Amino acid sequence: MESKYLLGCHVSMNKPGNYLVGSVKEALKVKANTFMIFTGAPQNNRRTPVEQLFINEFQQLLLENKIDINNLIVHGPYTINLANSLKPETFEFGVKMLTEEIQRVSAIGIPTLVLHPGSSLGVPLNQALDQLILGLNKVIVPGQKVKIALETMAGKGNEICTKFEDFKYIIERLDHPEYVGVCFDTCHLNDAGYSIKNNFDQVIQEFDAIVGINKLFAVHLNDSLNEEGARKDRHANIGYGKIGFESLLKVLQHPLIRKVPVVLETPWVNDVSPYGPEIEMLKNGVFIDNFPELNG
């Protein structure tokens, strides 16, 4: 039976698994119909040439298993900080790396690239937002196949884009706003002070009023170890955090989320992937205590 949700997880991409081919196989193993990859280690800028990633075999395997490539996501490197207005060399590095990443993602054929908006490094918020806008305007080329989804952030340190108004400010000032949207992260939203636990309807209505629901490109579905508004960013497994299973299920089941790719980024438990059990219980709509060791 075909799933009524676009539900998947972060999967690996590495040489032993034939890169992109292994990513599809890992997703199929946990019965995901969407997934997210990094094109290389998120903490550095080393990347395998796209010619070695088995792109044709990857696309064929997706077709054979009825996974729509248009529902897949790539997450950009953590090393990019386009909001950095203090160090020109760091900003230019980010522009160069994001430009190359967009080209890689386009070659793979995935249409959505999630990007952390970055850190202000302590300068006024509008200065950091303006710097991010400058960077996005440098990398976006009219006619490109890839759209950028800026991720909602928890607010730890000097993170920007913790409020929907930040995204509105950015999108309204872009040369080509049609190429930029938002990726919800439920842990981050909770930690930033949005009531994912008690009133997701209000949260998404607020987003629609401020930014526009058409700008929601992806969702990271994660529980949080922290109370609402903690501004800490510590992901928890589904049903083992402060948001809770029922509230996260409501996110997945929300009618405005139905056509948006939803991926899990929850912690592994004792070096074992939690994604298969978590996807199964979310599809069934019933919490199962798959990891009792987390109850302590």
Write out the E strands in 38-126: 73-75, 112-115
Specify the 3-state DSSP secondary structure of 118.
coil
CA dist 249 and 244 (Å) reads 9
The reply to whether 185 sits in an annotated binding site is yes
Q: In sequence order, what are the residues at sequence separation of 6 or more whose Cβ sits closer than 8 angstroms to the Cβ of residue 172?
A: none
Q: Which of 154, 151, 159 is nearest to 180 (CA)?
A: 151
* Mean pLDDT of the 154-166 span: 97
Q: What is the identity of the amino acid at 234?
A: R
The reply to whether 10 sits in an annotated binding site is no
The pLDDT assigned to 31 comes to 97
The reply to whether 188 sits in an annotated binding site is yes
Range 7-295: architecture per CATH: Alpha-Beta Barrel (3.20)
Say if residues 203 and 210 touch (Cβ distance below 8 Å): no
Q: What per-residue string of b and e applies to 35-56 under the rule 16 or more CB within 10 Å gives b?
A: bbbbbbeeeeeebeebeebbbe
The reply to whether 151 sits in an annotated binding site is yes
The pLDDT assigned to 1 comes to 39
The reply to whether 176 sits in an annotated binding site is no
Q: Give the range among 41-45, 79-83, 190-194 with minimum mean pLDDT.
A: 41-45
* Mean pLDDT of the 121-135 span: 98
Q: What pLDDT, in 10s, does the model give residues 37-47?
A: 999 988 888 89
The reply to whether 254 sits in an annotated binding site is no
